[in-house]
Amino acid sequence: MDDGCDFLLSQFFKDDHGQFIRFTGRSSKTFKGGLQHLQLTNKDIKHYCDEGERCLVDYYRIYLDALGNEGPFYRRPLAASGSVSVRYGEQVLGINKLKGLMKEITGKAGLQENFTNHSGRRTCATQLYHAGVDEQEIMQRTGHRSETADRKYKRTNSALQGHVSEILNPPTSKKVKCETTESENCENSGMKILIHQRPSVRANTQLFRI
């Protein structure tokens, strides 16, 4: 979810890579700037969708059809009328309503944490970061102009933190269990101590997959 009423919706498209939804943005908080930003272009996001029972195109098609497939993206909902259960008016949602929309949605879903519109952006940046997506591509999706602004939305997961800690920790010693089943022989033979060398660090694509 973006910060304000800055998205214009478009139709669905298809190219060699598949079917996608295209969103174009107007001036927003993450876009505004001074003279040094005169060459910036508005958001132009293409989201490719996988076909199937959870295809995002199907969900967005219902919403965009209700909006008439043109105009601002965020509109005030209208009461159902006859056989039409999903209806929206021409009036756009105000900034105050938009600011509390994420909290309202997550509250109705039974989530107790304090979620804001930035939670969606932060989740987006974090998932892309964990998946190994280049920072430039993440910035294009989130709309941030600098890597510094984008990085503040990233969160490291426990698996990644554990992997980093394992790399930085000093080599550890480990007692090797006696292979014999006789406790007497085991005591007489003593316990062997081995110093384990740190394994080579290799890329683990499974680690970053969300």
What's the pLDDT score for residue 202? 43
Which residues, at least 6 apart from 131, have a Cβ–Cβ distance to it below 8 Å? 208, 209, 210
185 CB burial (10 A radius; 0-12, 13-18, 19+): exposed
Q: What token pair was written down for 70?
A: 């043109």
Domain ranges for the chain: 1-94, 100-155, 171-210
- Of 86, 80, 11, 73, residue with least CA distance to 46: 11
Q: What token pair was written down for 136?
A: 């430039």
- Of 93, 91, 88, residue with least CA distance to 66: 88
User: Element (H or E) spanning 147, and its range?
Assistant: helix 147-151
Q: What is the spatial distance between Cα 51 and Cα 34, in angstroms, rounded to a whole number? A: 42
What's the pLDDT score for residue 174? 54
Q: How far is CA 59 from CA 20, 52, 109, in A?
A: 13, 11, 18
Q: What is the spatial distance between Cα 99 and Cα 83, in angstroms, rounded to a whole number? A: 31
What's the pLDDT score for residue 109? 92
What's the pLDDT score for residue 108? 93
What's the pLDDT score for residue 206? 37
Name the residue type at position 203: A
What's the pLDDT score for residue 79? 92
Q: What is the spatial distance between Cα 88 and Cα 70, in angstroms, rounded to a whole number? A: 12
Residues in the chain where the model's pLDDT stays below 50: 1-4, 28-33, 35-38, 176-177, 179-183, 186, 189-210
Q: What is the spatial distance between Cα 166 and Cα 159, in angstroms, rounded to a whole number? A: 10
Q: What is the spatial distance between Cα 135 and Cα 4, in angstroms, rounded to a whole number? A: 24
